[in-house]
């Protein structure tokens, strides 16, 4: 809550101007019933000059009130939209700095709901609340004071009725807030379900899970409807309470006013003034129902937004700037997930000199990707276990550390932009065409009408898996950073394309760069300077291809099986 309020009040002159315009507009609004009543009494007494003056003053007051209301809305609602935008930006800055473990544990739909729907609800406590609240605080008490001039009994009765209404609203507010909190959580579940199914639409269609998905969505929608109905029931009580209070005040005023006019203790002009004052107060009173209905929902949304900011951001500690060309050392590294009893990695050690290539191989679940996450400090390694150019990575700020690494992942993320823009992400001045050619994209680009300008769609949906991987590889190559990290980047390309890409890498990119290549194909690892074999999170072998074939049973067995598989795929011509 404090964040959006701080953003809203950052431009105090605009907020103050909006409040002053609201108050002045409310005073102009209150003057209009008084002028109407005076005009009626003046007409009864034949005072034409006073009637003319009241008519002109009424028109001026109406014009002033309309202008001030427009100004107030422009200032206050405009500032609330700006504060909403700033809060969304702050949330985005915070989310992108959250640790990978936090993001993995979070639900995408819940994040989207907090960042959109909750922030929109939270905006209510800024401009709308000030606009409607200030108007009601001036018009309702001011109207009662003016009514008091005409009839003390009516003013006291109206004041008592409004006091009862305020007590009822105060009783309902926390109950609406609790139910609104539950409704927002149910909405987040629907958003999460929809986001997940949108990504998994091919799986849903392939397995014909339409009925099951329909039932799941109906269950979540029914839960949201039930919780929303619970909020609506209390909100209807708010509206009912306000309407009944207003109607009772109207009846009281009409009854007392008619009696006083009939007995000559009041004038028709005073009765018209009273009636008009009630009409003027009706709008702000109805708005109070909107305010009291919206405030609890805004408070509930505010708690959910603040919970996001309570999630600890990635540790930024570290001021060391590594000096060197990419010497990488891993020393006796053991690591397990928080709360996990089984270690993912156990006593892993290796040294990698600048300009050398390390291939990491192993079965699924052997810890290859986790090792890369720790090297990149996407997950926090233990102190004194991973060093870059002699500096502990924990002593290097994450931004400075990752500026040394160019990364391409097995399941790459592409933005809904052109291929060139996705490759250029690695460096603004990148040679996009050369990097794309070295990543094996040249034949594909020739087949595309727009070449590098081809828009890939959301997440690169218009490209094949192999094309997406090669765009990510081109992005890494274009960055020119000293350490190249490839996480099974060519798993979706055929052997011939893989061979061409590896030849390009060795010829133009690996001579002066340190490279860490995770792969399940030993054909891609055999020419590396060193190969690290992981088995169940432990080092099963470390050395060159020839050394491991001779000394590491795990590697030798895998190599033999892959050669046999490749021979079967290539047919009689490719058999030895």
The structure tokens listed for 58 are 């009424």
Shared domain check, 422 and 298: no
- For residues 130 and 272, the answer to whether their CB atoms sit within 8 Å is no
User: Is 159 a member of any domain?
Assistant: yes
Give the separation between CA 181 and CA 437, rounded to whole angstroms: 53
Q: Calculate the CA 146 to chain-centre distance.
A: 49
Helices 268-310, 48-95: inter-axial angle, 10-degree rounding: 10
- For residues 396 and 320, the answer to whether their CB atoms sit within 8 Å is yes
User: Is 506 a member of any domain?
Assistant: no
Shared domain check, 418 and 306: no
User: Is 393 a member of any domain?
Assistant: no
What is the enclosing helix (H) or strand (E) of 360? Answer: strand 357-362
pLDDT at 575: 42
Task: Indicate which CATH number applies to the domain containing 428.
Answer: 3.40.50.300
- For residues 53 and 93, the answer to whether their CB atoms sit within 8 Å is no
User: Angle at CA 110, nearest 5°, toward 106 and 112?
Assistant: 110
**How many CA within 13 A on the CB side of residue 499?**
4
Q: In what order do the strands lie in the sheet with 345-352?
A: 345-352, 328-335, 386-388, 391-392
User: Is 10 a member of any domain?
Assistant: yes
Q: Which candidate, 258, 369, 375, places its Cα nearest to that of 328?
A: 375
pLDDT at 565: 75
Domain boundary (481, 502, 518) is at 481
Specify the pairing of strand 386-388 against strand 328-335.
antiparallel
Number of domains, the chain: 2
Cα dist from 45 to 55, 57, 135, whole Å: 16, 19, 35
Counting beta carbons within 10 angstroms of the beta carbon of residue 299, is it exposed (0 to 12), middle (13 to 18) or buried (19 or more)? Answer: buried
- For residues 510 and 482, the answer to whether their CB atoms sit within 8 Å is no
Domain boundary (435, 451, 481) is at 481
Specify the pairing of strand 386-388 against strand 345-352.
unpaired
Give the separation between CA 75 and CA 220, rounded to whole angstroms: 39
pLDDT at 573: 47
Specify the pairing of strand 538-543 against strand 386-388.
unpaired
Give the separation between CA 519 and CA 90, rounded to whole angstroms: 38
Q: At 386, phi and psi to the nearest 5?
A: -130, 130
pLDDT at 334: 93
Biggest alpha carbon–alpha carbon distance for the chain: 121
Task: Indicate which CATH number applies to the domain containing 212.
Answer: 1.20.1560.10
Shared domain check, 39 and 169: yes
pLDDT at 574: 44
Q: Which candidate, 160, 184, 180, 183, places its Cα nearest to that of 172?
A: 180
Range of the domain at 240: 2-310
562 torsion bin: left (phi>0), alpha (psi -120 to 50), beta (else): alpha
User: Is 183 a member of any domain?
Assistant: yes
Shared domain check, 421 and 288: no
The structure tokens listed for 140 are 């309702």
- For residues 114 and 308, the answer to whether their CB atoms sit within 8 Å is yes
- Under DSSP, the state recorded for 397 is -
User: Is 225 a member of any domain?
Assistant: yes
Counting beta carbons within 10 angstroms of the beta carbon of residue 403, is it exposed (0 to 12), middle (13 to 18) or buried (19 or more)? Answer: middle
Shared domain check, 107 and 223: yes
Domain boundary (455, 481, 507) is at 481
Give the separation between CA 32 and CA 415, rounded to whole angstroms: 58
User: Angle at CA 132, nearest 5°, toward 88 and 11?
Assistant: 45
The length of the chain, given as a count of residues: 576
User: Is 353 a member of any domain?
Assistant: no
Q: What is the pLDDT along the chain (576 residues), one digit of tens a residue?
A: 778 888 888 888 999 999 999 999 999 998 988 888 888 888 888 888 888 898 999 999 999 999 999 999 999 999 999 988 889 888 888 888 887 777 777 777 777 778 887 888 888 888 888 888 888 888 888 877 787 776 677 777 777 877 887 788 778 877 887 887 788 778 778 877 777 777 677 677 777 777 887 888 888 888 888 888 888 888 788 778 877 877 787 777 777 777 777 777 767 777 777 778 877 877 787 777 677 767 777 887 888 888 888 887 766 666 666 677 788 999 999 999 876 778 899 999 999 988 899 999 988 888 898 999 899 888 889 999 999 988 888 888 888 888 888 888 877 888 888 888 888 876 665 688 888 888 888 888 888 888 888 888 777 778 888 888 888 888 888 888 888 898 888 877 777 788 888 888 888 888 788 899 998 888 888 888 999 999 989 999 999 999 999 999 999 999 998 888 777 665 554 443
User: Is 255 a member of any domain?
Assistant: yes
pLDDT at 23: 92
């Amino acid at each position: 809550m404090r964040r959006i309020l701080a953003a809203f009040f950052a431009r105090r002159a605009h907020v103050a101007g909006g409040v002053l315009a609201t108050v002045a507009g409310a005073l102009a609004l209150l003057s209009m019933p008084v002028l109407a009543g005076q005009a009626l009494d003046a007409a009864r007494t034949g005072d034409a000059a006073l009637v003319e003056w009241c008519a002109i003053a009424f028109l001026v007051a109406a014009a002033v009130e309309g202008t001030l209301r427009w100004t107030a809305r422009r200032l206050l609602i405009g500032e609330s939209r700006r504060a909403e935008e700033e809060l969304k930006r702050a949330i985005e800055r915070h989310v992108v700095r959250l640790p990978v473990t936090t993001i993995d544990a979070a639900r995408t739909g819940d994040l989207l709901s907090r960042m959109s729907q909750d922030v929109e609800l939270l905006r209510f406590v800024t401009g709308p609340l000030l606009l409607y609240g200030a108007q009601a605080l001036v018009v309702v008490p001011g109207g009662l004071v003016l009514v008091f001039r005409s009839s003390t009994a009516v003013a006291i009765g109206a004041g008592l009725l409004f006091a009862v209404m305020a007590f009822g609203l105060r009783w309902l507010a926390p109950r609406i807030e609790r139910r609104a909190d539950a409704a927002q959580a149910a909405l987040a579940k629907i958003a999460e379900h929809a986001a997940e199914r949108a990504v998994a639409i091919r799986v849903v269609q392939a397995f014909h899970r339409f009925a099951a998905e329909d039932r799941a969505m109906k269950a979540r929608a029914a839960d949201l409807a039930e919780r929303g109905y619970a909020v609506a029931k209390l909100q209807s009580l708010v509206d009912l309470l306000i309407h009944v209070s207003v109607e009772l005040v109207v009846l009281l005023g009409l009854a007392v006013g008619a009696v006083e006019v009939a007995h000559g203790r009041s004038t028709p002009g005073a009765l018209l003034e009273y009636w008009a004052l009630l009409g003027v107060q009706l709008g702000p009173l109805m708005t109070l129902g909107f305010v009291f209905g919206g405030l609890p929902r805004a408070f509930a949304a505010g708690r959910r937004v603040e919970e996001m900011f309570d999630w600890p951001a990635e540790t930024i500690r570290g001021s060391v700037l590594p000096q060197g060309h990419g010497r990488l050392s891993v020393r006796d590294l053991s690591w397990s997930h928080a709360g996990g009893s089984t270690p993912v990695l156990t006593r892993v050690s290796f040294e990698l000199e600048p300009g050398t290539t390390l291939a990491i191989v192993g079965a699924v679940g052997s810890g290859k990707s986790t090792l890369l996450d720790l090297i990149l400090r996407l997950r926090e390694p233990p102190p004194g276990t991973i060093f870059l150019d002699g500096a502990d990575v924990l002593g290097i700020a994450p931004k400075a550390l990752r500026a040394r690494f160019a990364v391409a992942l097995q399941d790459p993320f592409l933005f809904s932009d052109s291929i060139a823009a996705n490759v250029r992400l690695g460096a603004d001045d990148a040679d996009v065409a050369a990097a794309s050619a070295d990543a094996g994209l040249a034949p594909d680009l020739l087949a595309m009408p727009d070449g590098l300008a081809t828009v890939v769609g959301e997440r690169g949906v218009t490209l094949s898996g192999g094309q997406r991987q090669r765009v990510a590889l081109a992005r890494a190559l274009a960055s020119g950073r000293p350490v190249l990290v490839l996480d099974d980047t060519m798993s979706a390309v055929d052997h011939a394309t893989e061979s061409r890409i590896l030849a390009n890498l060795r010829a133009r990119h690996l001579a002066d760069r340190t490279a860490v290549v995770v792969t399940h194909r030993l054909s891609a690892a055999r020419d590396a300077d060193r190969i690290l074999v992981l088995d169940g999170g432990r080092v099963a072998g470390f050395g060159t291809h020839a050394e491991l074939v001779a000394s590491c049973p795990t590697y030798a067995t895998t190599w033999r099986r892959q050669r046999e598989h490749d021979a079967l795929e290539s047919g009689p011509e490719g058999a030895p």
